[in-house]
Homo-oligomer: A and B are copies of this chain.
Amino acid sequence: MNAPARPRLSQSGRPPVLTAEAMNERGETVVRGIATERPLTIYLDRREVVTLMTIGQYPEHLVLGYLRNQRLLESLEQVESVQVDWETGAAAVTTRQPAATEDERLSRRTVTSGCGQGTLFGNILEEVASTRLQPPRLRQSDIYRLLRSVARYNEIYRHAGAVHSCALCHGEEIIYSVEDVGRHNAVDTISGMMWMDGVEGADKLFYTTGRLTSEMVIKVVQMKVPVLLSRSGITHAGLEYARRCNVLTIARAKGRHFLVYHGAGNVVLDEPAGESGPD
């Protein structure tokens, strides 16, 4: 029996931080790291799909994850190769046999908006609305251990700011940690990595520094990850999706503070109450 065919990926990751001079409030010239932001246009079998602005660290995985989360690709076996060329800002995705659904989905593009003004293809909302996840029990002490772990990542943020960080975690172990100028790009990149590595979402936890808007919750549901932890807040629509799909959803998680917005019954409080945070 043959192993399933795996796509060939170029290795075109670029350094995520450049430097620039700035003048501070004392009149001193200082050199600061700033995040890169490169346009990358995805072509699926020569058809232009989208141009993403990305930090460009893991472009091939971003492209795979984007097409996976947009349901423009159904299986990894479909994909022959992903070739990223920064000279032209193009990511060429070649499939073994173009899916029949591809044309139809591309033509049914509806443009939605998260932080920027995003795009969802096809019937993703219907698919997500019928998904119901099974979150595990989660101990408060596990949450605190995980928050300490993720704080050790976020390299680009510390050097340059202007990025969001996402991580896929198993217990307190961080499997992937990705930063990007776009929150959605960071999620999509992790989705691409999971696909390439055959990693499932059902026993994992997703951490993000970014806000839990509806699009963020939808993407995590698509990846079947049943626990979502954010340093930031949640929107009302994000909470509606979390409830409908039964995602254990914790926002404002920082230091010892957190707020469980959905699934409080799954959280075991096993630590002495600390100082509460500001909200």
Stretch at the interface among A46-54, A94-102, A200-208: A46-54
Complex-state Cα separation, A237 to B163, whole angstroms: 13
Complex-state Cα separation, A25 to B252, whole angstroms: 11
Complex-state Cα separation, A176 to B217, whole angstroms: 31
Expressed in whole angstroms, the minimum distance between the Cβ of A59 and any Cβ of chain B is 13
Given known A117-B182, A118-B116, contact A233–B37 (CB-CB < 8 A) = no
Of the residues B23, B52, B112, contact of A53 by C-beta under 8 Å: B112
Of the residues B116, B237, B258, contact of A184 by C-beta under 8 Å: B116
A198 within 8 A of B: no
A149 within 8 A of B: no
Within 8 A of B (CB), among A3-39: 18, 20, 22-27, 30, 32, 34-39
Of the residues B48, B110, B113, contact of A54 by C-beta under 8 Å: B113
Which residues of chain B come closer than 8 Å to A162, judged between CB atoms? Answer: 211-213, 232-235
| B22 and A112 contacting across the interface, CB-CB below 8 Å | no
| B53 and A114 contacting across the interface, CB-CB below 8 Å | yes
Stretch at the interface among A75-83, A128-136, A259-267: A259-267
| B256 and A25 contacting across the interface, CB-CB below 8 Å | yes
A-B contact pairs, 30 of them (CB 8 A): A18-B236, A22-B259, A23-B260, A24-B258, A25-B258, A25-B273, A34-B235, A34-B239, A36-B235, A37-B238, A39-B112, A50-B113, A51-B112, A51-B113, A52-B112, A113-B116, A113-B118, A113-B184, A114-B117, A115-B182, A115-B183, A115-B184, A116-B116, A116-B182, A119-B119, A160-B233, A161-B211, A162-B232, A181-B213, A181-B235
| With A25-B273, A116-B183 already in contact, 18 other A-B pairs whose C-beta atoms are closer than 8 Å | A23-B259, A24-B259, A25-B140, A25-B276, A26-B273, A27-B273, A32-B259, A35-B235, A37-B238, A49-B111, A50-B117, A51-B113, A53-B114, A111-B111, A115-B184, A117-B185, A161-B211, A181-B235
